[in-house]
A and B are shown apart, each in its own frame.
Chain A
């Protein structure tokens, strides 16, 4: 399976065998292009995808040591994501489908994030509780079986990664904000400032805009405060909420395995906390490598293998759906 991902600001292609074995995974990040704007600019992202798509696909095939003739199918993310960006990957996949007479499979971006864990642990099978956290999404999903999902909770305002970006920008750090805060937080005290843990007890939904406001208010009131302490304390608050919500969902559903995906799942403190949970024996934790957490096409090829087996090919008439829902 050849997978293609262009839903946001990474142009990616990968070749995966049998849904689990990665033969190649190429990601061309556009982060540098968007850095000066402090966030992803859809038109800039869409243009960059058109420039990069041929080389990224070619490199994925070369690294896999395979030709189009050896493929069984070609897949692309058809939503959710930026409309102008999505249609580059989808048009590319449809073109390969036409040229090589291969089935086309259009997949869901969040579902693909769930399958990163399947690649990390090839024996892994549902049921699972998954936390998908990135600049675009914050979701808690119960995966009961392949293709059977329940969205337990999602953010009511900012995505977790968006909160990282906004706080980083406010603190005068670079973009993307997640890695910047993660780095700076290592020099700070996570208990220096007690930021609120928003909606910690209520349901499975998330809300991060209040936390962002609390950080802004605190720094305005204490201009001499150590920025590293702010970063560490803000990060501790977000991680607390994410971990607690994930555990709560596992308890409520009775599902014993939890997995994480998305760019924020690359955060070092979140990863440590999740691994601590596993050591404590509360739940089984499958944490994909950082390269599989951030947007990539291996996860796209992985989920596409299951979707193709279960549902057959996607018609070439199928549109891109920027607000595609999982269930």
Chain B
């Protein structure tokens, strides 16, 4: 078994190769520092080629392509999801779509409190989902949400439990979580981007269960409508 994983939901472009024993290698380009515009369309294909070459594998050996489907940066998601589905279709292998918020939460499965995965949604909003520890992983206990930092603070106040926040969404709005005091901790830059080792592990389990999709069915998780659709729906038509 050989899996290729891609995640481009944030400014970070991530590529990972794994087999049944574990990770063969990974490439991460770009990060939380927004010094330059993200370049997903330029960097993803060369990063895949480089990663395969360095790991000594051919794409024709792949068993499946896993992809982080967001929510996140729309242009990044379109590059990652299109690349994953067309690669898979060309190679006649399935796609394993995994929400990028799950990839943020999974590495924090040993934390003994709520894990809140967040991704920056721009326009003073963030995407989030809330997880609880279960044997061998985490279980999501909320919907995949979009809202302002204040919406998330209100949600956490209502739950009244200790929480560990991760992802670039929480790092962007650190001040917003101060009212929650010591009940909330931020996981820091090491947990800013969806984890590629989580992508490899979760994809392997899904592949073994044959829990995957035909390439043409895979779509990004946007959570937010386009402005035109929002305006249209407001007209009440």
Contact = CB atoms under 8 A, between A and B. Distances in A.
B228 A317 contact: no
A295 B59 CA distance: 32
B74 A57 contact: no
Nearest to A4: B86
Interface in A101-151: none
B156 interface: no
A96 to B, nearest CB: 5
A95 B87 contact: yes
B228 A43 contact: yes
B43 A317 contact: yes
Contacts of A90: 41
Given A43-B74, A44-B228, A98-B49, A91 B222 contact: no
A210 to B, nearest CB: 28
Nearest to B91: A99
Interface in B152-170: none
B17 interface: no
B87 A99 contact: yes
A92 B90 CA distance: 10
Given A53-B85, A57-B86, A94-B83, A44 B44 contact: no
A282 interface: no
A87 B78 contact: yes
A320 interface: yes
Interface string A35-53: 0110001011011011101
A50 B81 contact: yes
A8 to B, nearest CB: 15
A88 B91 CA distance: 18
Contact of B228 (A37, A50, A84, A318): A37
B122 to A, nearest CB: 13
A54 interface: yes
Nearest to A87: B41
A203 interface: no
A26 B215 CA distance: 19
Given A46-B74, A83-B75, A99-B91, A91 B215 contact: no
Interface in A302-327: 315-320
B2 interface: no
Interface string B35-50: 0000111111110110
B48 A98 contact: yes
A94 B75 CA distance: 16
A94 B39 CA distance: 15
B208 interface: no
Contacts of A318: 42
A22 interface: no
B216 interface: yes
Given A53-B82, A54-B215, A97-B45, A87 B87 contact: no
A92 B41 contact: no
Contacts of B85: 53-54
Given A53-B82, A91-B86, A99-B60, 17 more contacts: A41-B226, A43-B74, A47-B220, A47-B226, A50-B78, A50-B82, A51-B219, A87-B40, A87-B41, A91-B79, A92-B83, A94-B83, A96-B86, A99-B59, A100-B90, A317-B42, A319-B42
* 6 A-B pairs closest in CB distance: A43-B226, A99-B90, A54-B216, A95-B86, A94-B45, A41-B228
Interface of A: 36-37, 41, 43-44, 46-47, 49-51, 53-55, 57-58, 68, 83-84, 87-88, 90-92, 94-100, 315-320
Interface of B: 39-46, 48-49, 59-60, 74-75, 78-79, 81-87, 89-91, 215-216, 219-220, 222, 226-229, 232
